[in-house]
Structure 1
Amino acid sequence: MAIALALYSRNVLLSLFGGVFLGLFLLQDFSFFATLDATLSLFISLLSEAWIGKTLVFAVLVGSVMELIERSGGINGFVEYMTQKSKLVASPRSALMVSYIIGVVIFIESSITSLIAGAVGRPLCDKEGVPHAKLAYICDSTSAPISSLIVLNGWGALLLGLIATQIDSGLISGESVDWLIKSVVYNFYAISALIVTFLVIWFNIDIGPMKAALPSNSHARLMFNKSAPMHYMIMPIIVMIVSVFVFLYLTGNGNILKGSGSSSIFYTMLTTLGFMYILYVMKGKMSTKIYLLSSFKGAKKLFGIAMILLFAFAIGKVTLQLHTGLYLASLASNNLSPYLLAAVIFLLSSIISFSTGTSWGTFSIMIPIAVPMAVGLDANVSLAIGAVISGGVFGDHCSPISDTTIISSLASDCEVIEHVKTQLPYALISGVVAIILFIVFAIFA
């Protein structure tokens, strides 16, 4: 219901609330008043969870950071340097390629990857007349795929834990790190998505709804501000990148893989805002009053995005209570051919991830199912785990209720539904390639 409403009405908040309410209505045995009470209790419990609160504040503070960078004139200085002084960006291809490279290089946290790729790429795309929908596609198609391939991050920590559980159960033997490395090689969707995205940029391929996407008219507004040295934009972004590593290290007690993603991005934004105060106010670029007003203005712009994230978390909780993922997984038959097992696991993981809007939740549901299925059919276990990872990323990539979809839209200043519709054909191409590869490797590997 939530997905259908979102695609039909283009009102994401209403759609998510409709899905949440219907799910709770089923859980409360069709009692309207019990559903109202359960809905209120759900949102109170969500707001009381620290990691959710930090993630919501992060979304709002992103607006403050972006508004301050724009107000400082640093964006105009950066655009001027890239397009006029250095001539590094002189076409739509080069404007998008900057965001693509950033998305591939910064693999530590998918939210920060999308944010920085969007922040850097947006003014360049405005200058070159590139639609924000295409930038959102680049941000989304690099952040999660690269994070699921180079697993020196929270993704790796989760997957290691899930694989270790299977080792402890006696189903497989060996080290969880070895299993993860062998499985990541079979993450065909992520690999395919990165290659397809590069080709789309290089050959300027527009298919489906992307053909109708229009360039933003915001670059006229950006150019209204006087240019300032580009380090007013670059230095806060560098501080942001470094801070993520530092706080992952600190929250993980010396182990980046065990660091808290929600806490790290929250403290990163606070650190960045503090640094910007020193850079802009104490050096005389703007007054404290302008700094505070700009921060508030930017935060207000993204308050709606924070609400969408909250409702996305809510529907995730409801689908968990409904056992949506487990039900979908139970539809798979144990009488499958070993040659089709990986492809079926990929499709099943994709459906679960698309329906629930979470790749990590899909990993948690499907790895304990996929490993025993592979062992029972004497199939390639690493290929099965790789299919789970690929399917989780693919479904999450396509889903309008996914937090990574929402954050990529946020970073690129693109409507969520427009982003979903315009990137879906490209994601489906990568998905088809992944299915073919899973069948081929199941037969010949």
Structure 2
Amino acid sequence: MKNHNFFALIIFVSGILAAVSVHHQYAGHLELLKPVSHYGIWSLLPGLITIALCLFTREPLTALLGGIVIGAFMLGRYDLTDKVLIPNLAKEGSATILLLYLWLLGGLLGVWSKTGAAQAFAKFMTQHFVKGQRSAKLVAWLLGIFFFQGGTISTVLVGTTVRPIADKAKVSHEEMSYIVDSTASPVASVLAFNAWPLYIQGLIFVPGVSFLATEADRLNFFFSSVPFSFYSIFAVTGTLLLSLNITCLSGKLIKQAHKRVLTTGELDAKGARPLGASELQTTKVPDHYSPHVLEFIIPLVSLIAIAVLTFVYSGTPKVNWAFGTALLLSAAIAMAKGMSLADVVEGFGDGLKGVVLASVILMLAMTIGSISKEIGGGLYVVSLLGERLTFWLLPVILQLITMLIAFSTGTSWGTYAITFPLAMPLAWAIAQSQSVANPELFMMICFATVLNGSVFGDQCSPISDTTILSSMTTGCDLMDHVKSQIIPAIFAASLAACLWTAVAYFFV
């Protein structure tokens, strides 16, 4: 580890020196920064430094911050606080995401923990629906669909809810962690009535492209591209088959885990070291308070209904309204049943604490995305590959690139911030230069490959928060989870690559 930290320091210092050199070389040009400008191969430096740092430090927060520092120095902004971080945090989109992800989502999770609502729901499901292995896994799969927020929230809620059910029904920890992980981000990218479209739309603007001109246009483009999320669809379908005890597509290790439980009753492999997650398994429900399943169902139904109905009537899901209403309903029901305001506020605060680190990473990801746009990395890649690459090969190339970046950094959203500003201008330039018949369809396919390739890398990475939380909440050994799920994930990604290539070749 000391050697890794030393090499990481060398990479970071080298990046700073290069960034300062670039700034002096292009100082006059930086003063007149325009969308048509880029700085050659140096335009890729922030993204490359971020990936390299993450490979050596295995920590996405430090890696993203390192990339931001390099990008800011390239732009001559040495005052990181006043010239870089604060301006990016002050943007309307950043404030909206922070409100949703930190206050509303974290607060709702905290209130549910305080009231014991999720545990009451688990007890209800156990009593009425879970009769054995198959039904326990199917309940876990269905909960993954219901918690379509994705990411850490989904893995924590689903994992903590189904752990007691699954252990009682003798479901192997490898199977359960795979189901929890593969119904988190893959579901969120398909049932996208959550924070994902709001965040991603800010990264996919391409000058001169009419269907990406406004925020509403970009949101509509996102939802129109959902049918091309082949990897996510295959991943969710694969976990459904596993939930029905159909293991033909699950890979050797998951088959072995399934067989082990049937023959020995052991939930973990021999020599496994499950991650402890006692803090995620316990609640702080007041002694006088009696949780009820409706405290979970009513806010959840209201959340889904508001998100879907506002999308139907306005074309844009009002995600903040949905989560805000669910949070207020949860708090109101709790106080109506006798919980004190102090206890509700305490639960709300605990929820905020649980997502602070994720929120910081999210803000840094948005910042490096903004810097990447200014430096013109996407325009450089366009100038380098735009005239040489056959259009129908681009989707699978973007898929492989994003899979590698997300696996190395452990974050899909950070990968979006790095990749979308590069990929979308490149896809448009290739569509124009090679006169594809349906450029919007081609852009949708390329968009889907970046979206899904990042989900794959994040899902399979051992340093991803969702991978770690899936292991922790289900009681699985981390590397057993990583090794057992990567085979079915690769199978789903390979099928998706074939479909993306075929659609681009025959229908664009």
Q: TM-score, normalised by structure 2?
A: 0.64
How has the CA–CA distance of structure 1 residues 379 and 185 changed in structure 2, closer, same or farther, with 3 Å as cutoff?
Answer: farther
The question of whether the paired residues in 1 share the 8 Å contact of 2:115 and 2:291 is answered with yes
Match of 2:237 among 161, 186, 195: 195
Aligned match of 2:88: 46
Q: Name structure 1 gaps, 5 residues minimum.
A: 29-33, 170-175
SS for the counterpart of 1:228 is coil
Separation (CA, whole Å) in 1 of partners of 2:61 and 2:201: 32
TM-aligned CA deviation for residue 72 of structure 1: 1.5
SS for the counterpart of 2:387 is coil
TM-aligned CA deviation for residue 45 of structure 1: 0.9
Letter in 1 for 2:87: S
The question of whether the paired residues in 2 share the 8 Å contact of 1:380 and 1:442 is answered with no
Separation (CA, whole Å) in 2 of partners of 1:310 and 1:4: 20
Separation (CA, whole Å) in 1 of partners of 2:201 and 2:60: 31
Aligned match of 1:70: 113
SS for the counterpart of 1:357 is helix
Aligned match of 1:316: 369
Separation (CA, whole Å) in 1 of partners of 2:86 and 2:326: 29
Report Cα offsets for 1:239-273 as digits up to 9, x if no partner: 22223346657xxxx5223x5xxxx3334333222
TM-aligned CA deviation for residue 275 of structure 1: 1.4
Aligned match of 2:448: 390
Aligned match of 1:274: 328
Please provide the CA RMSD for this pair: 4.9
SS for the counterpart of 2:292 is coil
Q: Name structure 2 gaps, 5 residues minimum.
A: 1-48, 168-172, 258-268
Letter in 2 for 1:64: G
Letter in 2 for 1:280: A
TM-aligned CA deviation for residue 381 of structure 1: 3.2
Separation (CA, whole Å) in 2 of partners of 1:157 and 1:47: 17
Aligned match of 1:125: 163
Letter in 2 for 1:373: I
Separation (CA, whole Å) in 2 of partners of 1:159 and 1:43: 17
Aligned match of 1:31: none
Aligned match of 1:172: none
How has the CA–CA distance of structure 1 residues 398 and 315 changed in structure 2, closer, same or farther, with 3 Å as cutoff?
Answer: farther
How has the CA–CA distance of structure 1 residues 24 and 177 changed in structure 2, closer, same or farther, with 3 Å as cutoff?
Answer: closer
How has the CA–CA distance of structure 1 residues 179 and 140 changed in structure 2, closer, same or farther, with 3 Å as cutoff?
Answer: closer
Aligned match of 1:255: 314
Report Cα offsets for 1:347-384 as digits up to 9, x if no partner: 56777988983648866764554355346545563663
TM-aligned CA deviation for residue 80 of structure 1: 1.3
Aligned match of 1:243: 306
TM-aligned CA deviation for residue 391 of structure 1: 1.8
The question of whether the paired residues in 1 share the 8 Å contact of 2:116 and 2:291 is answered with yes
The question of whether the paired residues in 2 share the 8 Å contact of 1:357 and 1:395 is answered with no
Report Cα offsets for 1:260-317 as digits up to 9, x if no partner: xxxx333433322221222111232x11121112212222232222212111212212
How has the CA–CA distance of structure 1 residues 439 and 59 changed in structure 2, closer, same or farther, with 3 Å as cutoff?
Answer: closer
Aligned match of 2:282: 221
In the alignment, is residue 330 of structure 1 matched against residue 392 of structure 2?
no
Aligned match of 1:13: 61
Separation (CA, whole Å) in 2 of partners of 1:231 and 1:182: 34
Query: Which stretch shows the higher mean deviation, 421-430 or 328-337?
Result: 421-430
The question of whether the paired residues in 2 share the 8 Å contact of 1:281 and 1:287 is answered with yes
Aligned match of 2:297: 234
Aligned match of 1:381: 438
Letter in 2 for 1:195: T
In the alignment, is residue 2 of structure 1 matched against residue 50 of structure 2?
yes
Separation (CA, whole Å) in 2 of partners of 1:178 and 1:443: 24
Aligned match of 1:302: 355
Aligned match of 1:435: 497
Separation (CA, whole Å) in 1 of partners of 2:222 and 2:328: 38
Letter in 1 for 2:282: R
Q: TM-score, normalised by structure 1?
A: 0.71
Separation (CA, whole Å) in 1 of partners of 2:144 and 2:296: 18
The correspondence of residues 397-436 of structure 1 with structure 2, limited to 5 A, is 397-398=455-456, 427-436=489-498
TM-aligned CA deviation for residue 388 of structure 1: 0.7
Aligned length: 411
Aligned match of 1:97: 141
The question of whether the paired residues in 2 share the 8 Å contact of 1:16 and 1:311 is answered with yes
Separation (CA, whole Å) in 2 of partners of 1:193 and 1:360: 23
Query: Which stretch shows the higher mean deviation, 234-243 or 187-196?
Result: 187-196
Larger Rg: 2
TM-aligned CA deviation for residue 97 of structure 1: 1.4
Aligned match of 2:45: none
Report Cα offsets for 1:19-57 as digits up to 9, x if no partner: 2112222332xxxxx52x045321111221233123223
Query: Which stretch shows the higher mean deviation, 324-333 or 353-362?
Result: 353-362
TM-aligned CA deviation for residue 238 of structure 1: 1.6
SS for the counterpart of 2:291 is coil
Aligned match of 1:84: 127
TM-aligned CA deviation for residue 396 of structure 1: 2.9
The question of whether the paired residues in 1 share the 8 Å contact of 2:377 and 2:421 is answered with no
Letter in 2 for 1:308: I
Aligned match of 1:287: 340
Report Cα offsets for 1:112-135 as digits up to 9, x if no partner: 798467535531135425478532
Separation (CA, whole Å) in 1 of partners of 2:399 and 2:146: 28
